[in-house]
Chain A
Amino acid sequence: MDILQLLISGIANGCIYGLLALGFVLIYKATEAVNFAQGDMLMLGAFLGITVINSNYMDMPFLAGLIAAAVVMGIFGYLLDRLVLRGIFGQPQFAMVILTIALGFLLRFFAGVTWGYDPISLESPFAGRILELGGLTIPMVDAVIIVATVLLTTSLYFFFARTRLGVAMQACSQNQMAAYYMGIPVKRVNAIVWALSGVVAAIAGVLFAAKGAIEPSTGLIFGIKAFAAAVIGGLGSLPGALAGGLLVGVVEPFASRYLPSGFGPIAPYALMLMVLVLRPGGLFAQIKQKKV
């Protein structure tokens, strides 16, 4: 029973990592850029959620606040691509890595100046409520997170597999120039992807803020962990990102419980290194050897 309880809280954490990893994968799938500021976008989304939902700010209902935060972050993502990232369109992947790292620093500074450096948590309608399920006690927040993640992932999966826009995004990432030749408006597709990933980051952020407190530097370490998750799944695979997130989320509580103290925090990274050493492209690898 103890193990099952750990498992469930691990899965709920893992879902947040998975959602964040999903944000990475979205952008990677469509633009082959890796967004090192994704964790900070989550942080920003969470702070926006707090601003609209908490009673000492705007005091909106939870769902409306979630949507508002998601919309604002979507617009933010779109504008970010249009105004900043367009400047290095077509440059190698590495340039984008550096650019988003710098962006993350700026977002953290902005959040620190705006909301202060003390941890704040979100007032959600399901704070402190508990579901009893066959002897298991599941916090309501965890259940909501798990359901939301499953919904979001499925819809994104179908979006990429079935819709014209989704397929266009995949085409852009596989060969930017060929996508141009096929008449895909590559730049606009990129901007839409960034907007989408902003939305996902906002949702993940609000859910995370409902579970625990948030502060400007949350995004950094959280982002790196979600990164580990995305890489374990093999960047570029939506189910892989979720699987990786769950794996990281589940490994964490078990490692800190059963391993000698001091080894717990490094377990996710050790796991990732192990996966990368054994399968350099992640579990759901997408890298293929180039034939000349």
Chain B
Amino acid sequence: MRVIFKNSYDNDINLFEDRVHLLKYAVLLLAALVMPWVISAFYVGELTSVLIWSLAGLGLMLIAGHTGQVSLGHAAFMAIGAFSHLALMLRGWPFVPALIASGVITGLAGALIARPLGRMSGIYLAIATLALSIIIEDVAIVATPITGGIAGLFAPPIEFFGLMIDRYGTPRAFYYLCLTVLIIVTLGYANLLRSPTGRSFLAVRDSEVSARALGVNVPRAKTVSFALSCAITGLAGALYAHQAQAVNYESFLVLISITLLLQVVVGGLGSMHGAFFGAFVVVLLPQTISMARSFINTNTPFNLGAYPGMDTAVFALIILLMIIYEPRGIYGIWIRLRTWLELFPLYRKGMFRRTRTYLKTERMR
């Protein structure tokens, strides 16, 4: 059992508690770097998907998990990011400026929408963002000059300092590209959370009234959070466009918005880890199910027919059980497991028991 002795206020907000903590993440980074040389090209592609959805999840986590404003429409911002990025690249911009510009454009779009949306709360906000996601589907068809209409846009190959990066041609290079973007965003996110701006987000999440009483400019905090969240999601959208090679109005359906929210919830709302855990579940679950099915069909007398939509149903079932039994998601399970290991013989059953709560009305806010 480690005891961390704090002798300065800075210790409370350091990114890494101590050397051991830093070492763990260094090992994780090393594993991420070595991984594409160990597994086959197909799984490198899957892993790249995990990275991209982690990035999108991080974006949603900022607004939903850390600012408490549930958005059911983040696929809309993935769409804005993807289309603006591709539109710029097809007009001759190099990859990096186009990627940054797509983030900025999505962030601006988010800030623009955040002001009117910021006045809504709870369920009204969720529905409004859901509507936004549906509207974007149709806008993607109507705005033909930018989005290519119904046919959509094809992603050009990425040229990076003389290096050609392509999802199929050089999957490892594309993996490292996504990993780089993800690491930069993650570090920025972690630093944001320990800055006054990030703290104000948390204050708004926990209680708008007390945040206001403490001098937090609530509308401003919401707008900044929304803009940053959308910018991150926009970057994920741009990378997704390269991963999918082509995007059109059907790439960012409202179901993607919903899945993204479920991903964040299953991972653990309110923790950065949650976005990553959730991405693993969302991306790898269909694979796991189809492998489990073929295993059952060949090795047991049972024969599971190929039901369409089986993976969504299993995913939904996991969510259902998770919400009832472990609302803090996979991150909650991980925390419990870690505490059990750290305290080994001393762990007690009721340590993470939830207190009994009563519904607070949202009609007064």
Give the interface of A toward B (CB within 8 A).
Answer: 31-32, 34, 84, 87-88, 90-95, 97-99, 101-106, 108-109, 112-113, 117, 173-177, 180, 220, 224, 227-228, 231, 235-236, 262-263, 265-266, 269-270, 272-273, 276-277, 280-282, 286-290, 292
Contacts and interface: CB of A to CB of B under 8 A. Distances in A.
Contact of B135 (A105, A220, A269, A292): A269
Contacts of B323: 88, 95, 98-99, 102
Nearest to A113: B307
A54 to B, nearest CB: 24
Contact of A282 (B124, B132, B360, B365): B124
A106 B320 contact: yes
B211 to A, nearest CB: 12
B128 A31 contact: no
Contacts of A228: 127, 131
A158 B307 CA distance: 45
A292 B141 CA distance: 48
B364 A98 contact: no
**SS class of chain B's interface: helix, strand, loop or mixed?**
helix
Given A93-B122, A235-B123, A102 B130 contact: no
Interface stretch (B99-107, B233-241, B289-297, B310-318): B310-318
B357 A98 contact: no
Contact of B363 (A176, A236, A292): A236
A101 B127 contact: no
B120 A84 contact: no
Contacts, number: 151
A31 B317 contact: no
Contacts of B310: 109
B136 to A, nearest CB: 9
Contacts of B81: none
Contacts of A289: 364-365
A287 B315 contact: no
Contacts of A95: 323, 327
B357 A91 contact: yes
B250 to A, nearest CB: 14
B121 interface: yes
B356 A90 contact: yes
A36 B317 CA distance: 15
B308 interface: yes
B110 to A, nearest CB: 15
Contacts of A87: 324-325
Interface centre among B119, B123, B135, by most A CB within 10 Å? B123
A199 B360 CA distance: 27
A278 B111 CA distance: 18
Given A177-B358, A228-B131, A272-B127, A287 B364 contact: yes
Contacts of B261: 98, 101
B361 interface: yes
A274 B327 CA distance: 34
A130 to B, nearest CB: 33
